[in-house]
Amino acid sequence: MTNHNYRILIADDEKEIRDILTLLLNGDGYELVQAENGKEAVDKATEDIDLYILDVNMPELSGFMAGAEIRKKFDAPIIFLTAYSGESDKVMGFSVGADDYIVKPFSNMELLMRVKAILRRSGRQNQDQGNTVDKSGDMGTKQESLSNVVDSNKNQIIISDITLDLDSQSVTKDGESIPLTYTEFKILELLATNKKKIYSLDNIYQSIWEEEAVGDSAIMVHIKNIRKKLGDNSRNPKYIKTAWGRGYYIER
């Protein structure tokens, strides 16, 4: 898929920022939809939008509130823009389903790279996701364990009563659809394709975002969200287990 096939909605109450983003992203081949506030972003959200870039501090509805409303209906990735770099803001963003978080001021190159990385991740279906980590912390490949967990005929991964469909990037539990975000799906897929391997928070971050980790909170929030959606008990989890002081893993 070329950039011309991607449609991005940008929402920011500052016209200058909207114009800069539009010029930048149009120049890279993306189709743009603009919104002046959170409410307008929610109103303009459709299945045709491939990525949302939402400013956090907007009138009508904040970026976080708009993102939460959009996430109820659509699974396209969300990037939050903010002038604040505090950890609590990042936790809030990831808790409502964010896929990335960019602090203002940002460089044009940084934004384009993050947009491309997220669209690449969200658009990939049955592709190798790169390096993973085993219990000792050494880097390995997913191919070691894929043959043991993937139904080659249906391209699915089974975890007890949960099924991951790698082609449609969807999850079902006892036949009922579980609405995970792209990032949540990728984390679950990473653990499921390498059962019994323990991943530290940094290992998961590096595997999913393909860059150095910038704190523990993002992955912890995503794991919490995945468990909640799967109906898992964090104190006695059935699916994603906790190796205290080491990370997370799926046993079988």
pLDDT in tens, the chain (252 residues): 566 679 999 999 999 989 999 999 999 999 999 999 999 999 999 999 999 999 988 988 899 899 989 988 888 889 988 876 566 666 676 677 777 878 777 788 878 888 887 887 666 323 333 333 343 334 343 333 333 445 544 688 888 889 998 887 788 988 888 878 778 888 999 999 988 899 998 888 888 776 666 555 677 878 888 898 898 887 888 899 998 888 999 987
- Report pLDDT for 141: 38
Q: What is the pLDDT of residue 41?
A: 95
- Structure confidence at residue 26 (pLDDT): 92
Strands 51-55 and 247-250: unpaired
Q: Going by DSSP bridges, is the β-strand pair 247-250/150-151 parallel, antiparallel, or unpaired?
A: unpaired
Cα separation values, 230 from 42, 76, 131, Å? 26, 20, 26
**What is the pLDDT, as a whole number, of residue 125?**
29
pLDDT at 217: 66
d(Cα 60, Cα 82) in Å, to the nearest integer? 17
Please report the pLDDT score of residue 224 as a whole number.
85
- Enter the pTM of the model: 0.57
SS in 3 state form for the chain? Answer: CCHHHCEEEEECCCHHHHHHHHHHHHHCCCEEEEECCHHHHHHHCCCCCCEEEEECCCCCCCHHHHHHHHHHHCCCCEEEEECCCCHHHHHHHHHCCCCEEEECCCCHHHHHHHHHHHHHHHHCCCCCCCEEECCCCCEEECHHHHHHHEECCCCEEEECCEEEECCCCEEEECCEEECCCHHHHHHHHHHHCCCCCCECHHHHHHHHHCCCCCCCHHHHHHHHHHHHHHCCCCCCCCCEEEECCCEEEECC
